[in-house]
Amino acid sequence: MKPIFVRELKGYFDSPMGFGIIGAFVVVIMLMSVLLDPLGSGGDWFDRGELSMRTFFGIFPWVAAVVVPAVSMRLWSEDRRQATFELLMTLPIPTWKIALGKYFAGLIFLGCMLAATIAFPLMLSQLGSPDWGPVAGGYLACFLLGAAFVAVGLFVSGLTENQALAFFMAMLICLGIVGVGEMRGMISDMARENPQAALIHLFSVPLVGLGVLAAVVGRDKMLGVTVVVFGFIVNVMAHLVGGGEKADDAIRLSSPAGEAVVAALAQISVLEHFREIERGVVNTNGLVFFAGYVVLFVLLNVWSLESRRYS
């Protein structure tokens, strides 16, 4: 595993691509952190007169969803392009060790990207005395979320030799993960209005996603089409059957099922755990959640590679 790790990490800095990714990430997130006001605090960083990195951490999930796939797109796609993929698969090394070597290389590069933004907290320290607890918690949250995105990119990169396609697919998945977290409030309102439909969405959408991933890994188009069509029908029927105006208002507003969905959404929302750790609340739930994301996509990567190794 160590030779794979060293080879991949070295590959980032042997070409201008690695430095270009770090430079683009630093410039984009620093400028957006200073000039934008996505949190509604009143004006840009200078107008607010606020000595904090709240905006930096607030926009990081969206920036990372676009930039981190550029880090991981080459992990397997480059080997396929250079025809070294078959050589790797014939080595007397378990597939999971090769995958972990590549993943840890991407993880270290992610750490370098975050370390390159150290100028921001240093600037704050020169201007005043910021609260370092939330700063440390915010960086930990960024690293954990980025680690999950690297795992997503590793899995997608193993599916194609086209780096542009790997980047685009991984970016869509990461943006979807962040977007679902942003929609949590809307879904929670629906859970209180129509708990039956919300419960169906809560369980069917992840199952459909896993079904599509299984279809992609196994290259089974029929399974993919079947899962998507079935999921669409089930989720549409959830709103056509039951609930609606005929349901009792008191039941709809105070349904234990609706409250259960709201609680479940808080547990599965990436942004919920991200923001909790960002505030300095580092607990087992958040760490296990992000570790679960990493394990899931690394296992999917290994599974997809194993299916081709012995096919």
Instruction: Say if 205 falls within a structural domain.
Output: yes
* pLDDT at residue number 295: 92
CB–CB of 162/77 below 8 Å? Answer: yes
* pLDDT at residue number 103: 93
Q: Specify the number of domains making up the chain.
A: 2
71 and 140 in a common domain: yes
Confidence band (pLDDT; 50, 70, 90) for 50? Answer: low
* pLDDT at residue number 195: 64
**Each residue's pLDDT tens digit, 182-207:** 666 566 666 566 666 666 666 666 66
Residue 311's domain comprises: 1-173+281-311
* pLDDT at residue number 246: 43
* pLDDT at residue number 115: 92
Q: What is the DSSP letter of 73?
A: T
Q: Which comes out higher in pLDDT, residue 129 or 47?
A: 129
114, 116, 119, 120: CA torsion to nearest 10: -30
User: What is this structure's pTM?
Assistant: 0.78
> Is the pLDDT assigned to residue 38 strictly greater than 60?
no
Instruction: Say if 303 falls within a structural domain.
Output: yes
* pLDDT at residue number 240: 66
C-alpha distances (whole Å) from 48 to each of 41, 45, 117, 129, 146 are: 7, 5, 21, 16, 28
Rg of the Cα trace of the chain? 22
* pLDDT at residue number 266: 56
297 and 204 in a common domain: no
306 and 271 in a common domain: no
Per-range mean pLDDT, top range of 162-171, 191-200, 206-215, 248-257? 162-171
Mean pLDDT, residues 12-41 taken together: 78
72 and 203 in a common domain: no
CB–CB of 106/12 below 8 Å? Answer: no
31 and 58 in a common domain: yes
Instruction: Say if 148 falls within a structural domain.
Output: yes
303 and 226 in a common domain: no
User: Within 13 Å, how many C-alpha atoms sit on residue 127's CB side?
Assistant: 15
> Is the pLDDT assigned to residue 250 strictly greater than 60?
no
Confidence band (pLDDT; 50, 70, 90) for 42? Answer: very low
Please list, in sequence order, all residues whose beta carbon lies within 8 angstroms of the beta carbon of residue 98, skipping any fewer than 6 positions away: 1, 4, 88, 91, 305
CA separation for the pair 153, 15 (Å, rounded): 20
137 and 66 in a common domain: yes
201 and 56 in a common domain: no
> Is the pLDDT assigned to residue 21 strictly greater than 70?
yes
121 and 22 in a common domain: yes
40: part of which helix (H) or strand (E)?
Answer: none
Mean pLDDT of the chain: 76
126 and 219 in a common domain: no
303 and 264 in a common domain: no
> Is the pLDDT assigned to residue 111 strictly greater than 90?
yes
In this structure, how many other beta carbons lie within 10 angstroms of the beta carbon of residue 72?
A: 29
292 and 274 in a common domain: no
CB–CB of 209/296 below 8 Å? Answer: no
* pLDDT at residue number 249: 46
